[in-house]
Structure 1
Amino acid sequence: MADALQLAVGRWLTKAANDLRTAEVMAAQVPPVTDVTCYHAYQCVEKALKALLTQENRHVERTHNLRRLVALCAKTRPEVSHLEAIATELTDYASQSRYPDDWREIPLEEALAAAQKARVALEWVPTRLREGARA
């Protein structure tokens, strides 16, 4: 069971890393594709948080609300609360950047900041996973 759990965690993290790569590639396009950059930055953080829930063998809700995922993770890992600001900033990109009714032109600086926040979250989560594996 532990091997299956670790495989599932690894898959979440691989998908999160792929989303971050996609965000960075889209930001580097000429012209930059900023809505897609922001969406994949958001997706990266969502999947990283779901990796934490999976590591603890907890139910992974089908939610796209990063604040909700942070709250769920923080129940057993209070230190996750420091990602609340990132979650608050990125959650709106779940729909805002995906559907034409909610679409707005996102400045490159904002998109780059979103990708950087996703990188911070993605780099932080595996350190917590390693600590959890030792506990």
Structure 2
Amino acid sequence: MATSLGTSSTRPFGKARCSMTVQPELVTILREWVQVAEEDIRNAEHTLTLQEGCPLRTVCFHAQQCAEKYLKALLTLRAVPFPKTHDLAELLHLFPPGLQLNLPLEDVDRLTDYAMETRYPSFQGVPSRDEAEQAVETARRVRQAARALLPPEALTG
């Protein structure tokens, strides 16, 4: 589990949308990342609407997956190789200058924890509804920031 990203408690995120010409093959790959990320956020949001018996672990897992896939889409856009990892802080450390996320480290770490601890039995208990709602909100912030930086043609299809 990552506990810090440099000396700051947040990472700034570049505001300019991608202005480079993107090859059609890359657009196809980016669309795939976006599509699976969108499926994850829809799954998390829809599942969270259940009042009784809501599988909160599932909500948190899909929120983490959405954020992870959007980060990997941005790294793919910039041709930055990345390892097989669910660690969002590790992915953020790979971002080139000018492509950084403004997200509290505790939110990054918490989402990273949900990648594994929600998939298997745990003696740490089930996330609360508040924690699940916070996970979805964090995923939405990552989604919004990433979509602002991805080329528009990667967001359709």
Q: In structure 1, what is the Cα distance between the partners aligned to 2:144 and 2:81?
A: 23
Q: Which runs of 5+ in 2 are unaligned?
A: 1-21, 153-157
- TM-score w.r.t. the length of structure 2 is 0.75
Shift of 1:101: 3.6
Partner of 1:49: 71
State percent identity of aligned pairs.
31
For this pair of structures, how many residues does the alignment match? 130
Amino acid at match of 1:4: E
Q: In structure 1, what is the Cα distance between the partners aligned to 2:100 and 2:93?
A: 11
C-alpha distance 84-60 of structure 1, shift in aligned 2 (>3 A): farther
Shift of 1:35: 0.4
Structure 1 segments, 4+ long, off by >2 Å, are: 75-80, 83-86
Post-superposition CA distance 1:90-132 (Å, at most 9, x none): 110011111114552211111011101101110110112249x
The answer to whether residue 156 in structure 2 is matched with residue 120 in structure 1 is no
> Higher Cα Rg: structure 1 or 2?
2
C-alpha distance 84-54 of structure 1, shift in aligned 2 (>3 A): farther
- TM-score w.r.t. the length of structure 1 is 0.86
Shift of 1:78: 4.4
Structure with the higher fraction of residues in helix conformation: 1
Greater RCO, 1 or 2 (C-alpha within 8 Å, sep 6+):
2
Shift of 1:32: 1.3
Q: In structure 2, what is the Cα distance between the partners aligned to 1:84 and 1:52?
A: 19
